[in-house]
Amino acid sequence: MRRSFFSMTMLGLVMAFLYVPVILIFAYGFVPNGVSMSFFGHDGRFLGFSGKWFGLIFSGHYSVRPLLQSFWLSLRIAGLATLVSCVLGTTAALALHKWKSRLQSIHYGLVYTPLIMPDILIGISLLMLFVASGIECGFWTILIAHVTFCVSYVTMTLLARLQDFDDRIIEAAYDLGAGPWYTFFRIELPLLLPGIVAGGLLAFTLSIDDVVITSFVNGAGTNTFPTYVSSMTKHSRNLPAVFVLSTLMLLFTCALVGVSKFLTSNHEPRRKA
């Protein structure tokens, strides 16, 4: 089929809109001057590229130490939130899939609500809950807040996977004498693993870049990477270090997607021709 000039132009514009900002993030990690954020001097002379910002990050220089601390805090919270959300989201999706009742309809509404509720409302409501309960805002309040909205995405992703799930496989396992735990871990879980991994990746992405909800429930000394970056973008001289960390995060995410693709492809059922 012959491609038209208009379709190729639109494709090029869409690709540029999506990937030019990513290329700029990588490029500005090599900017020589962190004050002017320019590759050119006042006289218009090209200053070249500098790798000093990568050196600051890998050496843990004191000037970027708070940025690194916020980065590792975000990774810890995102990892734990993803793990907890996958466990809770899997159990919630299985319950919604297996049992149909008025109670499950209410359950579905509670799970679906965080998907359509504005982030600012979730942040304010959680902050009011923590204040009313006398809970001091910090690491655990951020983790609870992230699990609150991440579990909904994992549940909905897994429910979509369960729409094509053949329940007769489970019934056949029970007929052959398998117990509930054996059936779940040896039959059901491997078949649902691609959906769990997809939901987990979505939860990790949403958790690690959340700003609005985190800004309500974080405490003193618990700034995550997005909230710290948002506070330093207008006055920091070390802004290129943010682009360096963003580049490393992008590479880590690509590697994570590759690993998940490998794991899910190994668990996909092979169909005979």
Three-state SS string across 214-234, please? HHHHCCCCCCCHHHHHHHHCC
SS in 3 state form for 78-118? Answer: HHHHHHHHHHHHHHHHHHHHHCCCHHHHHHHHHHHHHHHCC
**Is 4 a domain residue?**
no
Give the single-character DSSP code of 48. -
Asked, for residue 18, whether it belongs to a domain, the answer is no
- Whether residue 9 lies inside any domain: the answer is no
Decide if 191 contacts 174 (C-beta within 8 A): no
**What tokens were used for 194?**
């691609």
In a domain, residue 5? The reply is: no
- Which tokens belong to 53? 């910002």
58 in a structural domain: no
Which residues form the domain of 91?
70-267
Beta-carbon contacts of 114 under 8 Å, excluding residues fewer than 6 positions away, are 122, 148, 149, 152
In this prediction, residue 271 carries a pLDDT of: 47
Residue 137 lies inside a defined structural domain of this protein: yes
List CB contacts of 15: < 8 A, sequence separation 6 or more: none
pLDDT at 140: 92
Angle at Cα 197 formed by Cα 196 and Cα 201, nearest 5°? Answer: 120
pLDDT tens sequence across 58-82 = 887 777 788 888 889 999 999 999 9
Has residue 38 been placed in a domain?
no
Query: What are the residue ranges in the chain where pLDDT is below 70?
Result: 1-3, 34-36, 233-236, 260, 263-273
Looking at the 3D structure of the chain, how many domains does it have?
1
pTM: 0.79
The per-residue b/e assignment along 44-83, b for 16 or more CB within 10 angstroms, e otherwise, is eeeeeebeebbebbeeebeebeebbbbbebbbebbebbbe
End-to-end Cα separation, the chain, in angstroms: 28
| Domain CATH code at residue 257 | 1.10.3720.10
